[in-house]
């Protein structure tokens, strides 16, 4: 049996509009990003820590047709590793 012969996982997300099952992005509204930097001896800066607070809505968007897939965001979030 070849890997291509295996069935697709049942929980794989795909866009109902265009069938895309590989490219997605999130849009977060009203975000506060705080980054702590250390200044190096040469005057450049290195980020030391990031903290983000999302105060608004989070949307899941199809990366091919830009369809709003926010109804699947919870499932998407559960599958982040």
In a domain, 19, yes or no: no
Q: What is the pTM of this model?
A: 0.69
In a domain, 15, yes or no: no
In a domain, 11, yes or no: no
DSSP code string of the chain: --GGGSPPPTT----TTT---S-EEEEESSEEEEEEEEE-TTS-EEEEEEEEEE-S-EEEEETTT--B-GGGHHHHHHT--
Average pLDDT, the chain: 90
* pLDDT of the residue at 4: 64
In a domain, 30, yes or no: yes
Residue pair 54/65 in contact (Cβ under 8 Å)? The answer is no
In a domain, 17, yes or no: no
Does the pLDDT of residue 64 top 80, yes or no?
yes
Domain count, the chain: 1
- pLDDT confidence tier of residue 58, bands split at 50, 70 and 90: very high
In a domain, 56, yes or no: yes
In a domain, 55, yes or no: yes
Q: Which residues constitute the domain of residue 42? A: 24-81
In a domain, 58, yes or no: yes
Does the pLDDT of residue 27 top 80, yes or no?
yes
């Amino acid at each position: 049996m070849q890997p291509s012969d295996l069935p697709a996982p049942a929980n794989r997300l795909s866009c109902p509009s265009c069938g895309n099952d590989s490219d997605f992005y999130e849009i977060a509204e009203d975000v506060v990003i705080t980054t702590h930097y250390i200044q190096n001896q040469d005057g450049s800066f290195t980020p030391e820590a990031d903290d983000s607070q999302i105060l608004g809505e989070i949307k899941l968007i199809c990366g091919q047709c830009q369809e709003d897939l926010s109804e699947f965001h919870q499932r998407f979030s559960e599958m982040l590793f």
